[in-house]
Structure 1
Amino acid sequence: MSNVQLITYGLGEHLQKAIEQSDSIYILTSFVMDSGVNLLAPSLRTACERGAEVKLLAGDYLHVTQPKALARLIDIHPDIEVRLWQSNGQSFHPKAYLFQQKDGNTFVVGSSNLSSSALVSGVEWNVIVNDEISDTFENALTEFMQLFYHEQTVPVNHETIKVYEQSYHSYHQQYPNLIRNWTETEEADMMLPVEEKKKQPEVIVEPSGTYGTIHPRPAQHEALEALFNTYEEGYHKAMVVMATGLGKTYLAGFFAERFARVLFIAHREELLHQAKASFQTIMPERTGGLYYRYEKTTDTDFVFASVYTLSMEKHLHRFRSDDFDLIIVDEFHHAAATTYQRVIDYFQPKFLLGITATPDRMDQKDVYALCDGNVAYQLHFIEAIQKGWLTPFRYFGVYDETDYSGITWLGKKYDQQELLAVQLRKEYAENILQAWLKHKQTRTLCFCSSIGQANFLADFFQKKGYQTISLHSKTIGVSRSEAIKQLNEGVLDVIFTVDLFNEGVDIPSVDTLLFVRPTESLTIFTQQVGRGLRLHAEKEYCAIIDLIGNYRNADIKLSLFQLEPGEQKKKAAAVATVPVNCELHLETEVINLLEELAKKRQPRKEALKQAYLKVKQELGRRPTYLELHLRGTEPSKTYYQEFKSYAGFLYWANELTEREQEAFRKYECWLVEVERTGMVKSYKMVVLLYMLQRGQEHWADPVTPQEVAPFFHHYLTETEYRKRIDFSDKSSKQMWDYDEKKVSKLIADMPMTKWSGSSKGLISFEDGQFIIHLDIDEQDQEILYEWTKEICEYRLHQYFERKAETS
């Protein structure tokens, strides 16, 4: 039974009582005032001290949230987790308090934000629901977690508070009366109608049929072999990167056959249902269950769990840390690393497998960090086409004369209303129609930027005599499965859609893709292209019709059709290369536009700084060199290319203290030497790593080959199996079995002698001693030690990561 109570005054006392009794506390508020934090801080601190989970999400809309309130929140206790919703001008107005207790749950929703007036003396209406368990409460928890780790949120720490404080003061200088009148502003500008309750997602699974024994396809066979080798070599984590359409979920199922208990994690519930069906097709004799908002199965062989549900303390601790032999993380490039890291850090499986199609640095943090940079298998969709595992394409870049330069950019996307205003024009729709008629085949999937655009184009095409449907989250009367059936049967010519077919749902018969939206994300564009590349008996190739205008990131989208990594991805479209059985056609206006856009892109050094600042804000501190490599959106080698060392970049970016700046100027030559010295093999850095392990006072002391030998041999043969690739040439094969004389001779002949000869006097190897010629002031010892250690660890990781990708 539920107990419902209306509170019109003094909500704060009720919240304090609920906090004192709860194991999990989730607060969702449109803004936070220092007075409100001050009121709840003692209760929240006590809750954290007894081990309760506390999460709070606030918004930055109209910059009402006070920076000092955020600072006070994170100072309450180290375990409290606070995130800030970056509204980018869109209304953010929720107020909800969720409490999980041993004997039931409490759910508060109403008008009270986190301010003293709202919680103590103001006229507010709030409803408190006390209930043992209900679908509504479970839905609220799931919705909270999805908002909490949404891509529009950032962790609140001292770094992100500094950034927010700048925009806060700038905004209030422009609108000086806002704080005084914030209550009136709320009522006039921030209230929106309650959005309709989200429907339970429709699950579309391919018909199971009778297949007999299921066997891996060629791409899956190659990946499986690589995975099994990786597992047998002693690795505990790995990632597989496979293009859309090659069967990543079935691959995971085939790999899971060797493990007794498996946890499959995804960010969308639809993916969980599909994975469960795929695993049961492969292993009908094994049991599988779902763990998400509507179902909580814990005792099956395979558990398919929503990351948002599982990352809650209450649900995470329903499992033992060693409950699963294998954990599979699906499409983890979509979710915030923090969400997954909470789960990954808790469990101790024999193996962790990440599967994805699009781990692209240009869009988000590098997902390689979740698997320690170990890529067991990687297959770009261009390679898959060359092997005949995916359908060839013919790409048509069509010029869109729409001027996007006047549309407000909200950080990650265009303002939807301004964008829609330029899209809802007959001449714009006519240009799309003519491009489609010129290049289309039989079954078309069109990707739109909004429901309004999809409805408009579907109606426009219908009036021209074509059978279409606008299919999106609010479509009534026709399900996705029915629409897919009609497209397959030729009843429909085009499905106009908004983000429904980015992943998880395939229509192999689709032979035409139509893009009528600005490409804001290379990852999403990659996934959408993949929708048309599945093999089908009636499909010779997939026509990709792409309207290209002067929108942001237009000049990098054709990097998708290149195999070359790094800087090649940023060249103009005119140099894009495609397989011999594919075609790429660009209108002259498109080529000119893309080349012009490429010239105007953010200067390289500023791009590096912005990528660095994103990682810094995510971590709440200055990242190490290795963290920047693993999490940054720019290739780490470009920091060396531009600044000769990571410390050099920090010096340029004014990220060093005065003491560090002085140390950098004194020891720059050494830092550059450690960064630039060649590494045909890992040996130099292994020697340096040994020296660093002697501590900051003695790391630069002379060392002999005999002293390094035991560490050197152990590191390359036992610490990580695949490091043995450095002992594979004829001159070093005898090093497999430890022999101090042989290993010492190898160290003397190679890293010590070679580094001495190339270091321009900074290093010498004389009379059996390896000497670094540095005169280190006592006050600089810690700084130089840490910088040297960062470079060494980064270079070793990068070296073996690169070796693993090419081996």
Structure 2
Amino acid sequence: MPPLPARRNWRVGRRVRHFDSRANPVRAAGDGAAARNDQVDSRVVGKKAQGLYEALLTEALALELRELPPELVAELRKLRPDEAADRLALHVARALRRSIDGVSHTARVKTGVALVRALLERIGTELGVEGDDTGDPTDAAIRNSTGEPTADLTADLTLDAQADAEPGAATGAVAEVDYASSIPARRRAEFAGDLAADRPVVEANVLTALLARGPDGRPRELAAPLIPLLDTTLLTNAPDEPRVGQQIAAELDSADRIDVVMAFVRRSGLRPLLPALRRATSSGRRVRVLTTTYTGSTELAALEELVGLGAEVRVSYDTSSTRLHAKSWLFHRESGMSTAYIGSSNLTHSAMVTGLEWNVRVSGARNPDVVEKLAAVFEGYWQGGDFRAFERSEFEACRAAADAAAGNSQGGAHSAHALQLSPIELRLEPFQERLLEEIELERERGHHRNLLVAATGTGKTVMAAVDYARLRAAASRTDASNAHPRADASTAIPRGEADNGLQRPDASHATSRAAPSTALHRARLLFVAHRRELLEQSRATFRHALRDASFGELWVGGEHPTEFEHVFASIQSLNHAQLEHLPPTHFDVVIVDEFHHAAAKSYERLLAHVRPRELLGLTATPERADGLSILEHFD
């Protein structure tokens, strides 16, 4: 072992206050995954990044610390008995994974099993526990010529890994395999060096920080999180543990970058974090925040305060079913000790302090895949077009629109509180565009009864709204001379129909399938769903797609339409109505949400009566549990 580095810039025995997450059974979640990425080895320290660490002091790390520049101070502490089992096992797991990953792919399974067996046998020997080694043909693969178990990477092991690869090899035969030959030649020297470097120093010290010196030469302290950096744990705001707000505040000072995804941001939740956030931005550390206007909970004053501190804020104005509802914090640390919080707590006082909230604190060293995915998804949101840089005027306009929509949901199309539209237009994802292109192609082929099947949450209502808007836009570009009056003597026309510019088949076609036509200048619409909430959400989506704040009337509960031009109706209200008074061809476009219900009698009555020019069904599950078919309604 090399001599320990000179201690001119070491500090040993630093007191660190920690919340003991070992009492929580979730703390060790993902221990196996932690072995996948050695984030605290000498390569990280070799970059001499300032910050917090929880790195077992190995021989290689000790050499790195010996070469520290004078402006950095390494803080060490003794490995505690209560953490020894977890920390040492995690260290061995990382070394074992690197060893198995380094051998050739074909020999990896047998080699890995042999190494694990050798390791366990050695543990038994050291503890004075003899294992049962009778009759196992692989025993020769894990013992050397003296009969002692070995994990030496340069030893010759006898494995039967080649038996499957060599034709004619006897089943169960043990072939002599040079274990070292399974390691690529260019990696053997590295392997030997890695294993030696990974040996913990005898003193069992832990590197806790690399600190910069202040003008007076003293190290500038960094507040450590209440939860050890290596621990993944569940926080519930229980009486015997720190509140999630305290945990978040304790992470801020040691983070090199801070990314936040938060559905709701309010001043009450932000206020306790302001001093730490101000220290972060004033020292040049980047703070990025993604939030939403959903339900109007995010406060303008809170976002302005964040921007005033120097944080970058982007806002999603999407109020559809695909809106963002996530809550997470990501604390990037150049030391490799990044951490994240993912859970239910919005940035409000109740959620951060008093609420019954569940949040998982994830260690990037123990669960690297989770933290890496979180970082990648955040970056995708940040770079995508759904979030826009915060501007007061835009935020106020969208909040006003949301407030008006809430007031308008209980009124008809002529509510005194007309919807003020968001400046954000609906945009389709590529897969949504492809689906609408397929529907348009079917219409060009003469098929005007189509079923749109897409998984839950993929925006079927958005696609239907955009499709309807395109039908109307295409009709508005046609020559007005192609439009003909729809009224005729034999058909009862509701008020306002005769002069709306729509084409109407004559009486002889009143009960037949509607002729194909795209001349839908105003396109009377019937949108059918089975709940008020769905109808209100769908009407709001159509209003935004059409850029028409007064579009659509509700026909649900005790609410009735007055114009019957664009109706969002519940199937229950339609069934209670006297459909014989509604001309079958009155509605040009009929859209039925959750069309898999259509085989039910309530839907059958409606579908047997109406004769729209365009019928569009929306469903995620075209097969009904009772086996009844809905396909008869489509071309």
Same-fold status (TM-score > 0.5): no
Higher alpha-carbon Rg: 2
Answer 1 or 2: higher relative contact order, Cα 8 Å, separation at least 6. 2
Question: If each structure's helix is expressed as a fraction of its own residues, which one has the higher value?
Answer: 1
